[in-house]
Amino acid sequence: MRAELVCFNRECRARYAIDAVLYNCTACGGLLEAELAGGALDAAALKQTWRERRMCNVPGDQSGVWRYRELLPFDDGLECVVTLREGNTPLLDAPRAAEYGGLDRLTFKHQGFNPTGSFKDNGMTCGVTQARRLGMRRVACVSTGNTSASMAAYASAAGLDPIIFIPHGNISYGKLAQALEYGARTLQVEANFDEILALVRQLAERLGIYLLNSINPFRIEGQKSIIIEMMDQLDWEAPDWIVLPGGNLGNTSAFGKALRELREFGFMARMPRLAVVQAEGAAPFWRLVNEGGEFTSVPKPETLATAIRIGDPVSWPKALFEVRASNGVVEKVSEQEIADAKAQIGRAGIGCEPASAATLAGIRKLRASGVMEQSARVVAVLTGNLLKDPDYIYKYHTGKLQIPDSGTIVPTFGNQPTIVRNDPDLIASLLET
């Protein structure tokens, strides 16, 4: 299929070549998306082909992104592909978490099983591949931690130079450590995510650096594969709901686009509803969807789920369109709700990072308000690995997790370690009680 870049703004729809180095429409300033055009797909045959590729040792077939390449805008060949065998993330049934959320059943799609531990790898493999296709040497992003970890890994694997901008003091050490280890030039800027994004956009233009934030349409294309793979794993039976956390809203945009394309090309008959969950202190999208009016940003976003500490999400126009197209909803949850839901996901033997746990907290609220039915078939996407933010976990379980200026999180499901003397009798008596 032929692919082009198209302005997302429905009133503009200006078109550009797929190899244009652009992040916004030059006519109206709108967001850009890749559009696949010019040919019908044989859905039944492709479902078969995608299954067969799972058995194959060719790197592109082993990747849970490139396996689905017929739905990606790389129609001129795959010679630039850089893959760390991303995707291939499991669907996990979680009865205990289902009970906590008030559902009969709940399935997690765990993106924390990716090579760098988050869903960003699905998009980054495509973004870095496009950087290579364009002949770019340097790539950059601003990040709350996961995008930068992923970009550092993929750019270094591709032999490109990664430059990372992160908000000083507000990302977890796990993520910062990844960027350093993968060899990225790392700048900790004294500003928040939204302010740094504006800075990086300016610098990318000035210095000819390729920008790999989720404003980059190729990142979004790669993240579509999370949904395509999920549907493949569900034997193309759509669930009632797909639940995900919302920060910069790139993932919401990607999920919605994937669902629309799968339906349009005849891969599935029914559309699941998207449920996007934001943290209360960083919920501009919740406000837009539930209170109406113009989009307004949150100038000082606050949440301990630092991955989604974003007040001015660039992709909100796309995300709004996708939430409406799927008859979706947007929920917001408190810090306490996120922390407790996270501990429950841990106790289910699964675990995730704080932002991911917003999903289960959101489900619990959507059940309580009756928006989601108890018997609904729900897949929640856990976006990042448990080990991304161990500091948060230790503080929660030991009752030391503080919300700046508003108290301490109650360790409702806390699990304190016990310090003991090296004394078998003492330890035996302790374990017998």
Span of 90-98, 99-107, 141-149, 177-185 interacting with ligand F0G by CB under 6 A: 141-149
Does residue 259 touch ligand F0G according to CB under 6 A?
no
Residue 324 in tokens: 């409406």
Does residue 362 touch ligand F0G according to CB under 6 A?
no
CA 353, CA 384: separation in Å to the nearest integer?
Answer: 5
- By the 8 A CB rule, do 311 and 282 touch? yes
Does residue 306 touch ligand F0G according to CB under 6 A?
no
Phi/psi at 122 (5° precision): -60, -40
For residue 420, the minimal CB distance to ligand F0G (Å) is 35
Mind giving me the DSSP string for 65-134?
TGGGGGGSS-TT-STT---S----PPEEE-HHHHHHHT-S--EEEEGGGSTTSBTHHHHHHHHHHHHHHT
107/144 with CB nearer ligand F0G: 144
Does residue 308 touch ligand F0G according to CB under 6 A?
yes
130/251 with CB nearer ligand F0G: 251
For residue 409, the minimal CB distance to ligand F0G (Å) is 19
Does residue 384 touch ligand F0G according to CB under 6 A?
yes
Does residue 217 touch ligand F0G according to CB under 6 A?
no
Does residue 145 touch ligand F0G according to CB under 6 A?
yes
121/353 with CB nearer ligand F0G: 353
Q: Return the amino acid letter for 72.
A: L
Beta strands 378-382 and 2-7, pairing class: unpaired
Does residue 307 touch ligand F0G according to CB under 6 A?
yes
Does residue 359 touch ligand F0G according to CB under 6 A?
no
State which of residues 72, 163, 249, 348 lies at the interface with ligand F0G (CB under 6 A).
249
Q: Return the amino acid letter for 372.
A: M
Q: How many CB atoms lie within 10 A of CB 91?
A: 13
Bridge partners, residue 37, by sequence: 2
Most distant CA atoms of the chain, gap in Å: 77
Taking Cα atoms as reference points, which of 358, 7, 414, 53 lies closest to residue 225?
53
- By the 8 A CB rule, do 420 and 426 touch? yes
State which of residues 73, 247, 256, 362 lies at the interface with ligand F0G (CB under 6 A).
247
Residue 48 in tokens: 């078969």
Q: How many CB atoms lie within 10 A of CB 374?
A: 12
State which of residues 114, 122, 356, 359 lies at the interface with ligand F0G (CB under 6 A).
356
Does residue 284 touch ligand F0G according to CB under 6 A?
no
Q: How many CB atoms lie within 10 A of CB 335?
A: 22
Q: Return the amino acid letter for 277.
A: V
For residue 308, the minimal CB distance to ligand F0G (Å) is 5
State which of residues 116, 144, 216, 225 lies at the interface with ligand F0G (CB under 6 A).
144
Span of 41-49, 152-160, 228-236, 353-361 interacting with ligand F0G by CB under 6 A: 353-361
Does residue 246 touch ligand F0G according to CB under 6 A?
yes
**Size, binding site for ligand F0G by CB under 6 A:** 23
Does residue 238 touch ligand F0G according to CB under 6 A?
no
- By the 8 A CB rule, do 216 and 136 touch? no
Does residue 353 touch ligand F0G according to CB under 6 A?
yes
Which residues of this chain interact with ligand F0G, rule CB under 6 A?
A: 118, 120, 143-147, 214, 245-252, 307-308, 353, 355-356, 383-384
